[in-house]
Amino acid sequence: MSTFATQFKSEVGRIAKKEARAETSTLKKSNAQFRSDIAALKRRLSQMESLAKKLHKQIPTSRTVEASPPTENLRFRVEGFAALRKKLGLTAHEMGTLVGVSGQSIYKWEQGKAKPRASQLKAISAVRKMGKREVEQQLALT
């Protein structure tokens, strides 16, 4: 009886190994495929990075310096801005239309609760250079 038990045990082990091999063979194949795909992607990435470095070296650095406009030292004073609006005889809404903001923003700037951004300072600077007639023409266009 013990020979039957040992033979049965060895047969069960053999069949179990065979089944396990069949199950893991598909996993091994897919694993190998994934590894080769990853290697191909790494090669492609390194090619792209080297191409990007070459292209980056070809871009002239002087072009970026020339493209940037010279920075003006623009400043904003609440009193001066309010005086400008009164001098031109504009409402806050009209001044906001010229500068490109809302009338509420103009009120907040004049009260000192907020400050204009750099792009808005450029627009304010342009309005400072205008006269009453130019302002009226500009408002008529909008």
Residues 124-136 pLDDT 10s: 999 999 888 888 8
User: Looking at the domain assignment, is residue 71 inside a domain?
Assistant: no
Read off the pTM.
Answer: 0.48
User: Looking at the domain assignment, is residue 10 inside a domain?
Assistant: yes
Whether 7 and 61 share a structural domain: yes
User: Looking at the domain assignment, is residue 126 inside a domain?
Assistant: yes
Residues sharing a CB contact under 8 Å with residue 91, sequence separation 6 or more, in sequence order: 103
Give dist(CA 127, CA 44) in Å, integer: 54
> Helix or strand or coil: residue 34?
helix
pLDDT in tens, 108-124: 999 989 999 888 899 89
- The residue range of the domain holding 82 is 78-141
Whether 6 and 61 share a structural domain: yes
Tokens of 15: 């069949």
User: Looking at the domain assignment, is residue 105 inside a domain?
Assistant: yes
Residue 109, domain CATH = 1.10.260.40
State percent of the chain over pLDDT 90: 44
Total H helices, total E strands in the chain = 7, 0
User: Looking at the domain assignment, is residue 72 inside a domain?
Assistant: no
The angle that helices 92-99 and 118-128 make with each other, rounded to 10 degrees, is: 110
- What's the pLDDT score for residue 68? 47
Half-sphere exposure of 7 (CA within 13 A, CB side): 4
Whether 84 and 31 share a structural domain: no
Q: How confident is the model at residue 69 (pLDDT cuts 50, 70, 90)?
A: low
Q: How many Å separate Cα 105 from the centre of its chain?
A: 27
